[in-house]
Amino acid sequence: MISDLHRNDGNVTVCQQSAWGYTSMRIVERKVLFEGWTKFLAVTLQQPDGRSTERAVLDHGASVCVLPYDPERRVALIVCQTRIPLVYLGCREQLMEAIAGRVEDEQPPEAVRREAMEEVGLRIRDLGFVATCWSSPGVSTERFHLYLAPYSLDDRIGNGGGRADEFEDITVREIALSELAQLVDKGLLTDTKSFLLVQTLRLRRPDLFD
């Protein structure tokens, strides 16, 4: 249920955060406009004084994102892939981003390991949790569980490239951490979750960017 604000999703309570205030609005009606890979709804909100308005909600659920990095060679594994909303906007370039995907019937760490194998052929041993964040709370219920993960050459045991049945169109790239930092500083790494993970790694391991 969209209005069930304290449901568990991906082993994390959805509203597990510091409360700076509580809403007085409530959802009085919901209409499912589309239900497939994701769910799109129109919901009617009612204020305490009786006024109501309609809003759109994309009920996407939990997702994961991980930035694998090799501390010895000072590189990271990232993907470049086609994102259909960007194509809709007229962008022909693939988007550079960290490995990401939805949490299915599993816990977030299991989803990270599955996505890493599917997208870049990487076996992940250790995970460093960063945060759980809303991706676009103005319209979406999606929350990203964000991780950093060290790896070595021995952990690259597959080809990656994504699942053929999902038409992911993924290109795998290993990039120097120093180059990745330059892309961030120049405003050229435009995926928010990936930006956050690179900056977190710079704070936690500044020695890797010397």
162 — pLDDT class (breaks 50, 70, 90): low
Looking at the domain assignment, is residue 2 inside a domain?
no
Looking at the domain assignment, is residue 190 inside a domain?
yes
**Contact (Cβ atoms closer than 8 angstroms) between residue 41 and residue 169:** no
Candidates 13, 187, 177, 17; CA nearest to 108 is 13
- Rounded mean pLDDT of the chain? 89
Looking at the domain assignment, is residue 1 inside a domain?
no
For every residue of 5-37, which 3-state class applies, written as one string? Answer: CCCEECCEECCCCCCCCCCCCEEEEEEEEEECC
- Which of the listed residues 16, 37, 59 is the one where a domain comes to its end? 59
Same domain, 104 and 167: yes
pTM (predicted TM-score): 0.87
What angle is formed at CA 59 by the lines to CA 51 and CA 52, rounded to 5 degrees?
5
**Contact (Cβ atoms closer than 8 angstroms) between residue 15 and residue 8:** no
Same domain, 69 and 130: yes
Residue 159 pLDDT: 81
Asked whether residue 6 carries a pLDDT value surpassing 50, the answer given is: no
Asked whether residue 210 carries a pLDDT value surpassing 90, the answer given is: no
Q: Which has more pLDDT, 67 or 170?
A: 67
Same domain, 136 and 75: yes
Looking at the domain assignment, is residue 108 inside a domain?
yes
Same domain, 129 and 205: yes
Q: Which domain holds residue 42?
A: 8-59
Residues 37-57 pLDDT 10s: 899 999 999 998 989 999 999
- What counts of helices (H) and strands (E) characterise the chain? 4, 12
